[in-house]
């Protein structure tokens, strides 16, 4: 039971963060930098992602009580955000946040690990919404532990992927990355729609 929760959390979070589609942006921002600096940025990015995800996960109940938001209203809002991210993944637009002035500014920065890599490129509004909703559903400490382990596993996967980013791009190619992103986008869209549907059923007390 708990292992299946771990696997489901890993798949959901990895699909929403979708580090594969962020690889071309990462390479363009670090192509002229030494490998030692690039590896240092990768390590810091992974740590920031863990921090952002853990804060989002454990802050869920406090956000609800502070703003007086019902569980199902938050689920609906989160579901809409996640569904939008999935739709953008299907259209290969999800990692289009880093462009124009933001990209120019990133190229001039000495540290790009937190911004733009960790946020908004990887841990954006969609993943934060998902984790807040996970925090609502996870009532037992075993469930919370499985989700925390999933966060650590996804951060490790991101670290490994970014470490071998040039090789991944070489063998898969940008066309392959876009194809994988579309598959992940479909899963993310389904997650968002499911959350919205569940919220509507509970908010309006629709019989199933």
- Tens of pLDDT, residues 157-195: 999 999 998 888 888 877 787 788 888 888 889 999 998
Enter the tokens of residue 19: 């580090």
What pLDDT sits at residue 100? Answer: 54
For the chain, residues with pLDDT lower than 70 are 92-109, 206-208
What pLDDT sits at residue 92? Answer: 64
What pLDDT sits at residue 203? Answer: 74
What pLDDT sits at residue 103? Answer: 53
103 closest CA partner among 184, 198, 22? 22
Q: Which CA distances in Å does 137 have to 65, 140, 181, 190?
A: 15, 9, 27, 18
What pLDDT sits at residue 99? Answer: 56
- Cis bond leading into 191, ω under 30°? no
Place of tokens 């509507």: 200
What pLDDT sits at residue 109? Answer: 65
Q: Which CA distances in Å does 85 have to 16, 130, 146, 166, 205?
A: 7, 11, 24, 26, 27
> What is the torsion angle, in degrees rounded to the nearest 10, for the CA atoms of residue 29, residue 33, residue 37 and residue 38?
40
What pLDDT sits at residue 94? Answer: 53
How do the domains of the chain map onto residue ranges?
A: 37-203
Look up the pTM and report it: 0.85
DSSP state of 31: T
């Amino acid at each position: 039971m708990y292992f299946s929760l771990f696997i489901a959390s890993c798949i959901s979070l990895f699909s929403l963060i979708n580090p594969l589609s962020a690889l071309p942006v990462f390479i363009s921002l670090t192509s002229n930098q030494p490998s030692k600096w690039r590896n240092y940025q990768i390590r810091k990015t992974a740590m920031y992602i863990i921090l952002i995800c853990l804060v989002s996960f454990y802050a869920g109940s406090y956000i609800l009580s502070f703003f007086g938001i019902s569980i199902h209203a938050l689920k609906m809002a989160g579901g809409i955000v996640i569904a939008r991210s999935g739709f953008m993944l299907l259209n290969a637009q999800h990692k289009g946040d880093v462009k124009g002035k933001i990209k120019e500014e990133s190229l001039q920065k000495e540290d790009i690990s937190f911004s733009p890599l960790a946020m908004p490129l990887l841990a954006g509004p969609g993943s934060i919404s998902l984790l807040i909703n996970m925090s609502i559903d996870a009532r037992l400490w075993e469930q919370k532990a499985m989700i925390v382990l999933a966060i650590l596993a996804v951060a490790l996967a991101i670290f490994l992927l970014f470490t071998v980013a040039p090789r991944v791009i070489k063998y898969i190619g940008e066309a392959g990355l876009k194809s994988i992103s579309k598959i992940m986008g479909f899963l993310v869209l389904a997650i968002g729609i499911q959350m919205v549907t569940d919220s509507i059923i509970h908010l309006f007390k629709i019989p199933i």
